Structure formats: structure tokens, C-alpha cells
Amino acid sequence: MGKDTYFFTHDYNARNDLKLAALREDYGMEGVGIYWCLVEMLYEEGGYINLSQVDNITKVLRTNTTVLRNIIDSILFKNDGERLWSESVLRRLEQRQKRSELARQSVLKRYERTTNVHERIPSNTIKGKERILNNKEIYKEKYGELSNVLLTTEEYQKLKDRFNGETEERINRLSTYIASKGDKYKSHYATLLSWSQKDKITPVKKVDDGWDF
């Protein structure tokens, strides 16, 4: 599983829901499995599935078009002839987005309140260059959503070469972590490399809570 593995939970007695029970009565556990697979796909696609993909979905789920179409047209889902969606999935995606934004705002406020101004790099640091203080300390560029990840130009370029399109995401992840935990690292560059090794072993999971129909 990749490092950005998402999952959602649902009520442990979901099997007793009348709408799902009716689906099981008509199509057995195959129907239940197809239902949950469609729910997973809706989350992956941001809440909507294009119905032009029905044939491809049929092959992926190893079912037949008639069964899949009947489940799509059931009261468990909504569709307008072009797209398929679930009101419950849309509601939960919206709730997830709101929680994410609230968490981001909270971290920003905490960072602004607790960051020691003397620990910040001077605002007149020239982009693309490092300045030396007392022949020991190297000023580095500020990166990340909260401008608290310190990297030299060379380190940043190495990260881009190594992680390609994931570079900014990884830097922002460290930026948020530093602001929320208050941890200090001797080298943010080394920390990012260390985290990349850990990510290969332990996936980062994001949790959604509960389920309803």
C-alpha cells in the first residue's frame, strides 16, 4: 500500500441496513461486495464516477453489466445518466475537507503564536544564495506551507531530483509537523530523507469516521 493510503470506517452493523439487506437478498454477497467497491471508487474519484466507465468497472469487478447497472440504479446510489454519486459519500468528503481546513488554520495560528521571532531567518535573505554568520551558521531558504523548513538551494534541488512531483508535498508535511510538535532538527534535508525511508515501511493513513447510507 502506498504512503497516501486512505480508508473509511462504517458501522459494524451496516449489514442490517434495510437497503443493503434488500441488495443482498437480490444479488447475494456479490452485490454487497460490488456496492462497497463502488463506494471506494467514489472516494477515489472525489465523489463522482462517470457512467461511461461502466464497462471497464464491470471487467475490474469481474461481474456482468446487468448486475452492475441494477446496483447503480438502486436506491443506494444517485445518478443523472452521466455520473454516479452517493449523498453519504459527498457529505463525508465535505466534512473531511472542512476538518482538514480547520486543522490547517489551527496549525497556522499556533505557529504564529509560538514561533520565536529570533529563530526565524531574516526577511532580507536573498533567494538562491546562502549567507554565512560568524563563519559558522549558513542561512538557508525557507520552504513549506509555514515557511519553517530550512534548505540550501543545493539541498532543495537534490530533493526535487529524488522525489520529483512529491517534493512540495513532503516538504509541507515536515513543515506542518514542525509547527504542530515544536520539534527541532539539525538538518531538515536529512529529516526528509529519513522520513522517505520510513514511508517505505509504514504507510501514512488518513482516517474517516463512521458510515451511514
pLDDT, tens digit (0-9, with 9 covering 90-100), for 1-28? 444 556 666 666 777 788 889 999 999 9
Measured CA to CA in angstroms, residue 198 lies from 152, 195, 201 at distances of 23, 5, 5
Average pLDDT over residues 136-148: 77
d(CA 178, CA 168): 15
CB 88 within 8 A of CB 43: no
Model pLDDT for residues 178-201, shown as the tens digit of each residue: 888 877 888 898 888 888 887 765
Model pLDDT for residues 27-47, shown as the tens digit of each residue: 999 999 999 999 999 988 999
Model pLDDT for residues 45-93, shown as the tens digit of each residue: 999 999 999 999 999 999 999 999 999 999 999 999 999 999 989 998 8
Q: What's the residue count for the chain?
A: 213
The most confident of the ranges 43-47, 82-86, 118-122, 145-149 is 82-86
96 burial level (CB within 10 Å; 0-12, 13-18, 19+): middle
User: Would you state the pLDDT for residue 12?
Assistant: 66
For residue 205, report the phi and psi dihedrals to the nearest 5 degrees. -110, 145
d(CA 202, CA 40): 22
User: Would you state the pLDDT for residue 208?
Assistant: 52
pLDDT of 120 over the 60 cut: no
| Cell (9 digits) for 94 | 465535505
